[in-house]
Amino acid sequence: MRRKKRRAPRGWIKRGDRFYFNFTECGKRIRDVIRDANTPEEADTAVMKRRLAIREGRDGAPDKAMKLDEFLDTIFLPLSEMRNRTYYLETRFAELFRNCEYFKNKTVAEITPLLIEKFLQHRAKGITNRGRLRSAGSVNRELSALSSILGVAVKSGLIAENPCSKVKPLPYYGKERKPITSEQEELILSNLTGTFARLRPLVILGLYTGLRRGEMLKLRWSDVNFETRKIRVRAEVSKNKKEGYVNMNSIVVETLKPMCEGAPTNGLVFSGKGYAPTYVTHCFSELCDRLKLDGVELSDVTLHCLRHTFSTRLKDNNENPFVIRDMNRHSKISMTEIYTHSTSGEGQEAVQRLEKYAKWRTPDTNLSQNKGQSE
């Protein structure tokens, strides 16, 4: 016997993979996407709830006049805390936007591309805590954070489209993160005293294990095995969300062992006051701003440069590229190439080795040219 095709109940329609309300109740026409409905049964339930809400005088639709401040507190930040590993960054961006003169006391629907453009211009002319003009890269990160917030507002039905999609990021020509030299390393470590002393083990771990800042700050003593000389990077703290291991040399072991005495087994390696992620970054940058080596400022050195240094030194020791990739826990070797740099003397030596091909040059020519260069 041929089965009858199931007819969709009145009240919703399906387009592609999504279900939509399509009914009239109490003289009110409802056409809206049904969120969190993946099956016809779930769509039926959503229609019944929506009909009941209309009959009882409560539409059930989101308040489209919701203030940005209220939206951040009631919808965005609770979702971010539950799903996002960088919740502390989201809270900082939320404070920036809620106190900004361009968005303060505005509803989510009142945030227009023009307001966002004015906000970007204002931020691009601002001075940072380090006394410098704010970089275009920093402003673009703020734009990306605002876009994420308003993207949630779109999914919540507060606005039809994300106004950030109509705003172009500022042109940005970023500086290359360069590895530090042995002399710079010695200078930095010798100045990690006083209030900066707590950064010393972090700097050593960054240089000799290649761990990222977040991985170091979330490291627990249960992840450190001094017998096998390995550090476990848990999936929940790893950037690629995969568990991995890094090796320790004698320098790292000598640094961590004294800190381990009396510490709780499952406690954080870096715990207590002064180990907030942004504070650690700012402290290290503040130290490097003060330092000079042979007249050269180290203000461009950041905490993430230590990871570049780790990878570059492995390359200088002619380690297998695939070993370097695995030690950095990169999924592709193309990413490892970004972290490995040529050292300052290699380029000059490389072009000098090309001179062997110039058979037309005579010893007298070489001598005269070298004499002219010396003069």
Residues 142 and 285 both lie in one domain: no
What confidence category does residue 299 fall into, taking pLDDT thresholds of 50, 70 and 90?
confident
Q: Looking at the domain assignment, is residue 173 inside a domain?
A: no
What confidence category does residue 8 fall into, taking pLDDT thresholds of 50, 70 and 90?
very low
* Res 367: pLDDT: 45
Residues 117 and 151 both lie in one domain: yes
* Res 14: pLDDT: 87
Q: Looking at the domain assignment, is residue 357 inside a domain?
A: no
- Which range scores top for mean pLDDT: 47-51, 77-81, 160-164, 330-334? 160-164
Residues 157 and 203 both lie in one domain: no
Percent of the chain exceeding pLDDT 70 equals 86
Average pLDDT over residues 80-87: 75
Residues 161 and 299 both lie in one domain: no
Average pLDDT over residues 8-31: 80
Q: Looking at the domain assignment, is residue 309 inside a domain?
A: yes
The distance of Cα 358 from the centroid of its chain, to the nearest Å, equals 49
Residue 43 has pLDDT above 90, yes or no: no
Average pLDDT over residues 303-325: 87
* Res 316: pLDDT: 85
What is the CATH classification number for the domain harbouring 308? 1.10.443.10
What confidence category does residue 374 fall into, taking pLDDT thresholds of 50, 70 and 90?
very low
3-class secondary structure per residue, the chain: CCCCCCCCCCEEEEECCEEEEEEEECCEEEEEECCCCCCHHHHHHHHHHHHHHHHCCCCCCCCCCCEHHHHHHHHHHHHHHHHCCCHHHHHHHHHHHHHCCCCCCCEHHHCCHHHHHHHHHHHHCCECCCCCECCHHHHHHHHHHHHHHHHHHHHCCCCCCCHHHHCCCCCCCCCCCCCCCHHHHHHHHHCCCHHHHHHHHHHHHHHHHCCCHHHHHCCEHHHEECCCCEEEECCCCCCCCCCEEEECCHHHHHHHHHHHCCCCCCCECCCCCCCCHHHHHHHHHHHHHHCEECCEECCCCCCCHHHHHHHHHHHHCCCCHHHHHHHHCCCCHHHHHHHCCCCHHHHHHHHHHHHHHCCCCCHHHHHHHHHHHHC
| Mean pLDDT for all residues in the chain | 83
Q: Looking at the domain assignment, is residue 361 inside a domain?
A: no
For residue 300, give both structure tokens.
């461009």
Residues 213 and 301 both lie in one domain: yes
Average pLDDT over residues 19-35: 83
Residues 86 and 144 both lie in one domain: yes
Among the listed ranges 30-34, 99-103, 144-148, 306-310, which one has the minimum average pLDDT value? 30-34
Domain, as residue range, for 282: 182-219+268-339
Q: Looking at the domain assignment, is residue 19 inside a domain?
A: yes
Residues 32 and 80 both lie in one domain: no
Q: Looking at the domain assignment, is residue 324 inside a domain?
A: yes
* Res 55: pLDDT: 77
What is the CATH classification number for the domain harbouring 111? 1.10.150
Residues 203 and 122 both lie in one domain: no
Contacts of 199 (CB under 8 A, 6+ apart): 192, 280, 283, 284, 287
Average pLDDT over residues 265-271: 87
Residues 308 and 197 both lie in one domain: yes
* Res 167: pLDDT: 93
Residues 48 and 152 both lie in one domain: no
Residue 363 has pLDDT above 80, yes or no: no
Q: Looking at the domain assignment, is residue 273 inside a domain?
A: yes
**CA distances in angstroms from 255 to 44, 179, 200, 272, 327, listed in the order given:** 62, 22, 9, 18, 20
Q: Looking at the domain assignment, is residue 152 inside a domain?
A: yes
Residues 162 and 297 both lie in one domain: no
pLDDT tens digits, residue range 161-206?
A: 899 999 999 887 766 678 888 999 999 999 999 889 999 999 999 9
Q: How many domains does the chain have?
A: 3
What confidence category does residue 264 fall into, taking pLDDT thresholds of 50, 70 and 90?
confident
Residues 121 and 189 both lie in one domain: no
